[in-house]
Amino acid sequence: MSDRADPEIILERRGAAGLIILNRPKALNALTLPMIQAMHAQLRSWETEEAVTRIVVRGTGGRAFCAGGDIRQIYELGKAGCFEETLAFWLAEYQLDAYVKRYPKPYVALIEGVVMGGGVGISVHGDIRVASEKYMFAMPETGIGYFPDVGMTYALPRLPGRTGTYLAVTGARVGASEALALGLATHSAKAADFDAIVDALAQGDDIEATLAAYAAEPPGTGPLVTERSLIDECFSADSVHDVLGRLDVAASSGASFAAETAALIRSRSPTSALIAFEQMRRGVDLSFEEAMLIEYRLCTRVMRGHDFYEGVRSVIVDKDGKPSWQPATLDAVDMAAIATAFEPIGGSEPSFA
């Protein structure tokens, strides 16, 4: 049965729980505008429904919690010059993320598989993020000519050390054990136990006791733990140029992780890498609402640029993995234009309070 034959999102009250199920498994549960609008409206309804004492969000299919927004659709709208439609999507998504951040009832995300982009926005800002053994986090936007959004201007700079800057600029992936170490995830459990967890939460059982009963040690560890000192040393530099310089020095001494990280950064959109680094620099001093407004401003500029469309073409449309970034190098990027992208857009700006 195709995704089209089924509802894209399932919203139901199950006992004490308001249950949200993202239901586009063939699209890795990527968010569409109707899904975002339906979820936001239902959360508002459940906020005042006394019988609903907690929210539970999960995805179907086993491969992904949510791989982000429906980027291909946004790409097609933007290529057609339908900028108002593209901005309507981003604004609705960002306002939903902000609502999740301030939601007054316990909000539990059960994360199996991929959680990227928009999926991060509707999970990481909630109270509880349960990572399964298949958990895989990434904010890979610099690889498609975009920037780490959905509140990452606020969240990533607050991760330990310089790990947030590393994740923002590189778009690298994070497994369950690393996510727990960094605080991206708050709990872990086996994916096979998610149904039982939902049942217990629907019965009104204590949330922490339930998650403790199903706690499972995630497998292995990863470079954000084992290479933490190198990450902190290199990504504490004052610019992307200097980050690369430090990585190159470490690589020349035989540090393979440093060499791989430098190569990864050099494959990203230079403009996006510079924006992401500046987000991390500024974000540590911003409120969540200020950070979301900054991201909306960036979005209005980036969506009218070149690299987003070239990045999506390369990764999602043609899948040739050969983006032609403009400008093609860090040195060629106009730093004044980067600074301007963070400035007010003029006229009335949206509120995320």
Q: What's the start-to-end Cα distance of the chain, in Å? A: 40
Q: Which residue of the set 59, 68, 69, 151 is catalytic?
A: 69
User: Residues 144, 315: contact at Cβ < 8 Å?
Assistant: yes
Q: Residue 139 to residues 103, 149, 336, 338: CA-CA distances in angstroms?
A: 23, 8, 25, 20
Spatial neighbors of 9 by CB under 8 A, at least 6 apart, are 20, 21, 22, 23, 34, 35, 38, 39
CA gyration radius, the chain? 20
183 annotated active-site: no
Look at the chain and count its residues: 353
Q: In what order do the strands lie in the sheet with 174-175?
A: 64-66, 114-116, 136-138, 174-175
Spatial neighbors of 212 by CB under 8 A, at least 6 apart, are none
141 annotated active-site: yes
222 annotated active-site: no
User: Residues 151, 125: contact at Cβ < 8 Å?
Assistant: yes
CA pair distance 175, 184, nearest whole angstrom = 10
CA pair distance 106, 315, nearest whole angstrom = 36
Q: Which residue of the set 112, 141, 278, 310 is catalytic?
A: 141
Q: Which residue of the set 70, 93, 149, 193 is catalytic?
A: 149
DSSP one-letter code for 22:
E
Alpha helices in 221-350 (DSSP H): 223-226, 228-235, 240-252, 256-267, 270-283, 288-302, 307-312, 335-341
Query: Which positions are catalytic?
Result: 69, 118, 141, 149
